[in-house]
């Protein structure tokens, strides 16, 4: 296979997630007051702007640099995989996970206090669950898509090809 035959389809959803994530973060930072609840669906779903120095559920607030490095590695792996994956499930998983990691990495690099220590903008609050953003949701959905692919789709295809008894 030559370089000209390679179509990195996963870069499309990856780029789309980054754009949607950064646009929504810009909109909420420009239009919402921090730590103020803006009901969307009663008390079930609301917009609630916070700056998160940690990871999911605000854990690891002292490990921002570690999260930044992990996100860099995840983005690099997803970009490499974008040139290799062909199955639409794998394309979706790589695009969602890579886009989410890249979206939050941009915050870690460019938002205050900056330089791999930046705080991620979170703003979606559902019930008493954690506050998250588009990038976080994309990562979670991407992992779910990958699990369905790895545990259901790929084994079914292998059986159809006669590779597994």
pLDDT in tens, 96-146: 999 999 999 999 999 998 888 889 999 999 998 889 999 999 999 999 999
Locate all alpha helices (DSSP H) within the chain, ordered by sequence.
11-31, 64-82, 88-110, 134-148, 154-160
Dist. CA 49–CA 38, nearest whole Å: 9
In a domain, 165, yes or no: no
Residue 108 placed within a domain: yes
Structural domain of 36: 3-160
d(CA 31, CA 52): 18
Place of tokens 């588009």: 134
Report the range of poorest mean pLDDT among 17-26, 28-37, 100-109, 152-161: 152-161
| SS3 assignment, position 59 | coil
Q: Which residues are registered as beta bridge partners of 126?
A: 45
142 domain residue, yes or no: yes
In a domain, residue 48? The reply is: yes
- Please work out, in degrees rounded to the nearest 5, the angle formed at the alpha carbon of residue 77 by the alpha carbons of 134 and 123: 15
Q: Does residue 21 belong to any structural domain of this protein?
A: yes
Residue 17 covered by a domain: yes
Count of the separate structural domains present in the chain: 1
Q: Is the pLDDT of residue 1 over 50?
A: no
Q: Rounded to an integer, what distance in angstroms lies between the CA atom of residue 63 and that of residue 72? A: 14
Q: Which residues are catalytic?
A: 122, 136
b/e per residue, 114-136, with b = 16+ CB within 10 A? eebebbbbbbbbeeeeebbbbbb
β partners of residue 50: 122
Tens digits of residue pLDDT in 56-88? 656 667 778 888 999 999 999 999 999 999 899
Q: Which distant-in-sequence residues (6+ apart) come within 8 Å of 18 by Cβ? A: 99, 102, 103, 106
């Amino acid at each position: 296979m030559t370089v000209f035959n390679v179509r990195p389809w996963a870069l499309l959803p990856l780029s789309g997630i980054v754009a949607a994530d950064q646009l929504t973060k810009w909109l909420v930072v420009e239009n919402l007051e921090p730590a103020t609840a803006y009901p969307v669906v009663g008390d079930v779903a609301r917009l609630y702007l916070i700056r998160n120095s940690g990871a999911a559920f605000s854990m690891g607030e002292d490990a921002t640099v570690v999260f930044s490095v992990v996100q860099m590695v995840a983005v690099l792996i997803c970009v490499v995989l974008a040139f290799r994956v062909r199955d639409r499930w794998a394309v979706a998983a790589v695009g969602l996970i890579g886009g989410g990691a890249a979206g939050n990495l941009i915050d870690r690099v460019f938002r205050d206090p900056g330089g791999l220590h930046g705080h991620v903008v979170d703003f979606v609050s559902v019930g008493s669950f954690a506050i998250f953003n588009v990038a976080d949701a994309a990562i979670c959905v991407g992992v779910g898509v990958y699990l369905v692919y790895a545990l259901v789709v790929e084994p079914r295809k292998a059986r159809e090809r006669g590779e597994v008894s």
